[in-house]
A and B are shown apart, each in its own frame.
Chain A
Amino acid sequence: MTTHLTWETLNDLVDDVLSPAAKAAAETHARDCASCATSLAELRATVAVTHDLPESVTPPEDLWHDVRATIEAGKVAHLPLGSVPAHARGFWVTPGRLAAAAVMLVAVTASLTGIVMTSQPATQTIAQAPLAVSVSWQASERVFQANVLALREQLEALHDHLAPETLVKVERALATIDLAIAEGREALLRDPANAALSELVASNYRQKIELLRRVTQLASS
């Protein structure tokens, strides 16, 4: 009875990792055995087709937009632009507070832009920190604001799902974070290129988003 080449041997032969003696024996067998010759040819053809796959695959068209938004935000602070999970678009504690926060965000953003635009020559490029910072901050704040505003609707739907005492605790914690964010941002207006300050403000943003995520999960569970 003929012993055919094992699948492992066929593969090792194609990959040329057999010892010279084993290779010679396998090749001799394949010459004389139609079945193994066919298997070998099919395997070689599959490997060849694989090698011929194009090196590149076109990524989604809008991917550069996301990359750019992230790196622009990263010039100031490592904010989770575009990466806040859908379920973290949780809620603000009260609609009134949310609206006030939105107004505050817009006001701060506007004032930041005003300061930068009046103080920097128009010829400065993005590569120079202050103008890049303002553009980044605007982009970051818009995303943050949009997320917070979007959460408001979910909040109103989920409001009754939490115990009143839990709501009070959450409200206090969010107020603490918001005060920290406001103080940090005000300092960043005066010193936009301060890397440590940027990281500290980013940390507060992360805290807020994380707290909202957890409260949302709590309310929806």
Chain B
Amino acid sequence: MRSSLLRIAFLAGVAVLTATQAGAQQKVDVRRAVTRDVYVRLNGAFSSLKVTGWQKDSLVMTGVLPRESRFEPAMGAGPGPVPGLKFYIEGAANTPVSGSLELFVPVGATVWAKSGSATIDVTGITGGLDLNIVGGSISVAGNPRELNIESMDGTVTVNGAPTWMRAKTATGDVTIRGSCTDLGITTVSGTITIRDGSFERSRVESVTGNVTFDAGVTRAGTLLIDTHAGTIDLQIGKASLDIDATTITGSITNSVTTRRPTPGRDGRGEELALSLGTGEARATLRSFKGNIRLIR
């Protein structure tokens, strides 16, 4: 009976929200009809968030939070699908952050999520994602239109083809398997690994983190990698690429062609320029004291 009533209320577009408390935890159950491009904002103290895009015009959030946490949803009154919802979770003072949430949203939704140390897993979203953690990990599978990730030491893993992507970490490692039209990755000392797909415009900056690019650059595409001390490994494959590599004090190793690097300015560092295939794409690799390796 209760489930029937819930279903009727849900279909009528009325928000169904229950947060029942039992023991040391409270359950979260939010169900709402939403627009296909709904904007969902989730901020606060949770340790785990799983987001799944589905083909329904509704949002469902379930999970458990510590009993002491304050859970504040805001979604607007009235019937009918809403275009936006906000959730704020305030943890109790002097209590370790815990709580796991699962969120189902329409595939075209935009999800903004921010927490301290948390594990965020996202699958099947084609809209926008803006994910921000201090520690923990962020994992995204799918092809979001926009993907913005900020992390301090949390790791970042992307499997898919975001159209536009920015990832910034301090020490967190970043791994991308897939493709992207407009890619920007910045890290201080995390390692950056880009594999398997095809990238049109890419800019990668690292201070001491090592960078591995083992993917394709589209025709007329550009790849720019700057490091201070991190190594740069460029796996060429069958790429048709104009490459400009420069180090200030590091070395350049070329195992792709017989061309050897020349000494840099003032006899320090090395420089190497070569053209592979018809050179339709361009790669600029620069490192202050990291070594650059061109690998077939």
Whether the pair A200, B288 counts as a contact (CB closer than 8 A) is yes
User: Which B residue sits closest to A203, measured CB to CB?
Assistant: B226
A46 at the B interface (CB under 8 A): no
Main secondary structure of the interface of A (DSSP, over half): helix
Given the contacts A166-B134, A169-B153, A183-B288, A204 and B170 also touching, CB distance less than 8 Å: no
List, in ascending order, chain B residues with CB within 8 A of A204's CB: 207, 228
B32 at the A interface (CB under 8 A): no
CA distance A199 to B228 in the complex (A): 11
Interface residues of A in 178-197 (CB under 8 A from B): 180, 183-184, 187, 190-191, 194, 196-197
One of A1-9, A31-39, A111-119, A207-215 at the interface: A207-215
Given the contacts A173-B170, A191-B265, A183 and B289 also touching, CB distance less than 8 Å: yes
List, in ascending order, chain A residues with CB within 8 A of B287's CB: 200
Whether the pair A200, B248 counts as a contact (CB closer than 8 A) is yes
Range of interface residues on chain B?
Answer: 20 to 34
Interface residues of B in 239-296 (CB under 8 A from A): 246, 248-249, 265-266, 286-289
Whether the pair B152, A210 counts as a contact (CB closer than 8 A) is no
B229 at the A interface (CB under 8 A): yes
Once A and B bind, how many residue pairs between them come within 8 Å at the CB atom?
75
B159 at the A interface (CB under 8 A): no
Whether the pair B189, A173 counts as a contact (CB closer than 8 A) is yes
List, in ascending order, chain A residues with CB within 8 A of B43's CB: 221
Whether the pair A170, B152 counts as a contact (CB closer than 8 A) is yes
Interface residues of A in 25-44 (CB under 8 A from B): none
What is the minimal beta-carbon distance from B95 to any residue of chain A, in angstroms?
13
A94 at the B interface (CB under 8 A): no
Whether the pair B288, A180 counts as a contact (CB closer than 8 A) is yes
A75 at the B interface (CB under 8 A): no
Which of B205, B265, B266 is A206 in contact with, Cβ under 8 Å? B205
A177 at the B interface (CB under 8 A): yes
A163 at the B interface (CB under 8 A): yes
B150 at the A interface (CB under 8 A): yes
What is the minimal beta-carbon distance from B277 to any residue of chain A, in angstroms?
24
CA distance A197 to B226 in the complex (A): 10
Given the contacts A169-B170, A183-B228, A203-B226, A176 and B152 also touching, CB distance less than 8 Å: no
Whether the pair A177, B153 counts as a contact (CB closer than 8 A) is no
Whether the pair A177, B207 counts as a contact (CB closer than 8 A) is yes
Which of B116, B152, B188, B229 is A207 in contact with, Cβ under 8 Å? B188
Which of A166, A194, A200, A210 is B265 in contact with, Cβ under 8 Å? A194
B36 at the A interface (CB under 8 A): no
A218 at the B interface (CB under 8 A): yes
B208 at the A interface (CB under 8 A): yes
Whether the pair B286, A180 counts as a contact (CB closer than 8 A) is no
Which of A163, A187, A207 is B207 in contact with, Cβ under 8 Å? A207
Whether the pair A176, B153 counts as a contact (CB closer than 8 A) is no
Whether the pair A196, B286 counts as a contact (CB closer than 8 A) is yes
Interface-centre pick from A187, A196, A214 (highest chain B CB count, 10 A): A196
B167-203 vs A, CB cutoff 8 Å, 1 = contact: the mask equals: 0101100000000000000101100000000000000
List, in ascending order, chain B residues with CB within 8 A of A180's CB: 207-208, 228-229, 288
Additional pairs, 9, CB under 8 Å, beyond known A176-B188, A197-B288, A214-B152: A169-B170, A172-B171, A180-B207, A183-B289, A187-B248, A187-B288, A207-B186, A218-B134, A221-B114
Residues of B whose CB lies within 8 Å of any CB of A are 43, 114, 116, 134, 150, 152-153, 168, 170-171, 186, 188-189, 205, 207-208, 226, 228-229, 246, 248-249, 265-266, 286-289
- 6 example contacts (A-B, Cβ-Cβ < 8 A) are as follows A173-B171, A184-B228, A190-B266, A203-B205, A207-B205, A221-B43
**3 tightest A-B CB contacts, nearest first:** A180-B228, A173-B170, A173-B188
